[in-house]
Amino acid sequence: MKQANIYDIDIYHKIFSLPKDLREEVLHFAEFLKLKVIPTNNIKEREFGCAKNAFIIKNDFDEPLEDFKEYM
């Protein structure tokens, strides 16, 4: 079990010094914040070569473009 640090204890005391209805609001807000967190276990690992043949690079890729002749 995780050991509480001074910051956690301070949060705990501040929450429990609130009236019960406001403590419930804090609970609802904390649950809302947890929904915003993206779970890292749902991220798939990328497969090497998954984009193979998705892009075609022409042989003259490195050649100067006609549009830029006057600048060169």
Q: Is residue 11 a part of any domain in this protein?
A: yes
> What percent of the chain has pLDDT above 90?
28
Containing domain of residue 32, as a range?
6-71
Q: Is residue 46 a part of any domain in this protein?
A: yes
pLDDT tens per residue across span 39-69: 666 667 788 888 888 888 889 888 888 888 8
Asked whether 23 and 16 are in contact (CB, 8 A), the reply is yes
Q: Is residue 55 a part of any domain in this protein?
A: yes
Task: Answer whether residue 31 shows pLDDT above 70.
Answer: yes
Residue 26 CB partners (closer than 8 Å, separation 6+): 15, 18
Of the candidates 6, 27, 3, which has an alpha carbon nearest to the alpha carbon of residue 15?
27
Q: What is the distance of C-alpha 9 from the center of its chain? A: 28
Domain count of the chain? 1
Q: Is residue 1 a part of any domain in this protein?
A: no
Q: What is the distance of C-alpha 50 from the center of its chain? A: 23
Q: Is residue 24 a part of any domain in this protein?
A: yes
pLDDT band at 1 (very low <50, low <70, confident <90, very high): low
